Structure 1
Amino acid sequence: MTDSLAPAPLTLERMRADVADLLGEPPEAVGDDDHLMDLGLDSMRVLGLVLAWGNTGIALEFGHLAEHTTLAGWWQVVQKLQARARVDA
């Protein structure tokens, strides 16, 4: 039996869409290996993403994302945290 109130897992597509929305761009404008700060993402916006994405059930912290500058790097972090959350569940 699944818990219908459980948060949906964070996906790369959602991450891309959320970043693009903050930048006022379409999702396809944000490439996996683009330097997100060069696209205009700043630390306050990253903090907002951390808070929103943390609601998906992973223990995401600002420092996790601050160590990486690309969506691909962030996705690797999220995948590790999701795997850890599954083990801990």
Structure 2
Amino acid sequence: MTDEQIITDVAAVLGVDRSELDTDTDLLDAGLDSVRIMSLVEKWRSAGHADIDFPTLAGDPVLGSWIELLA
């Protein structure tokens, strides 16, 4: 999964343009909630990232951290 795909996926669930997000964005402050995190977990697991889970993402909800985990 590329950095661009991760940013695109996150922007889509937040309903914002991807240009509004950068690696320092705190996704909880940007409006991401637990339901949306779970939808991303399921999407990314189905894309082959079986090791991604809710506690990992929710524990460090900064976009740059997610990119490091997934890319």
TM range (shorter): 0.7 to 0.9
Q: Which has the higher contact order (CA 8 A, sep 6+)?
A: 2
Matching residue of 1:39 = 30
TM-score, length basis structure 1: 0.72
Which residues of structure 2 form unaligned runs of 5+?
Answer: none
Structure ID, larger Rg: 1
Which deviations, in whole Å up to 9, do the C-alpha atoms of 1:8-43 show, x marking residues without a partner?
Answer: xx2211111111111211111111111101110001
The residue correspondences of 1:64-75 to structure 2 (distance < 5 A) are 64-75=56-67
Superposition CA RMSD, Å = 1.1
TM-score, length basis structure 2: 0.88
**How many residues of Structure 1 are paired with residues of Structure 2 in the alignment?**
70
Contact kept? 1:64, 1:77, Cα under 8 Å = no
Percent identity, please: 36
Which residues of structure 1 form unaligned runs of 5+?
Answer: 1-9, 80-89
Contact kept? 1:36, 1:71, Cα under 8 Å = yes
CA distance in structure 2 between the partners assigned to 1:37 and 1:27 by the alignment:
16
CA drift at 1:62 = 1.1
